[in-house]
Amino acid sequence: MKVTRLLHTRMRVSDLDETIRFYTTVLGLEVIERKTSPRGSHLAFLKVPNSDELIELTSFPPSGPVKVQEDLVHLAFQVDNLESTISALNQKGIKITDGPTTTSSGSRFIFIDAPDGYEIELIERPAGVPIV
């Protein structure tokens, strides 16, 4: 058996609307579908530019608030220019929690926090630097 494609990554969130606002207004993702599952979970699927994989956000209030363990998981997104990204984040009042850091390959990155404490890594890669 061999899988053929990664379709989506699911993340449970405490406040679906607040989290959608963060991903759409801060990162520029697009909501492509919202629905309620048969068991009552509220779902939103977000499209990332230039990617086939979706992010599925889910909220199930009876489960209580989400508690994200520090440094357990993060999402990494590529940006064209880290300086302009930092400037845009500052204008939106988004705190940079780590960085900027430069790697030996010349890539530069920062971290910010999404609602519920999920970490977001924003990476600027020089031309020709591999993805991983």
Per-residue pLDDT tens digits for 72-98: 789 999 999 999 999 999 999 999 999
Tell which CATH architecture fits domain 71-132: Roll (3.10)
What are the contacts of 5-8 at 24+ separation with CB within 8 A? 5/52, 6/53, 7/53, 7/54, 8/45, 8/53, 8/54, 8/55, 8/56
Active-site positions read 121
Q: What is residue 102's predicted lDDT score, i.e. its pLDDT?
A: 93
**Mean pLDDT, all residues of the chain:** 91
**Torsion angle of alpha carbons 14, 18, 21, 8, nearest 10°?**
10
Tell if the pTM clears 0.95, that is, is over it: no
Q: Where are the domains of the chain?
A: 1-61, 71-132
Confidence (pLDDT) at 4? 85
Q: What is the CATH number of domain 1-61?
A: 3.10.180.10
CA nearest to 34, candidates 45, 24, 48, 18 = 45
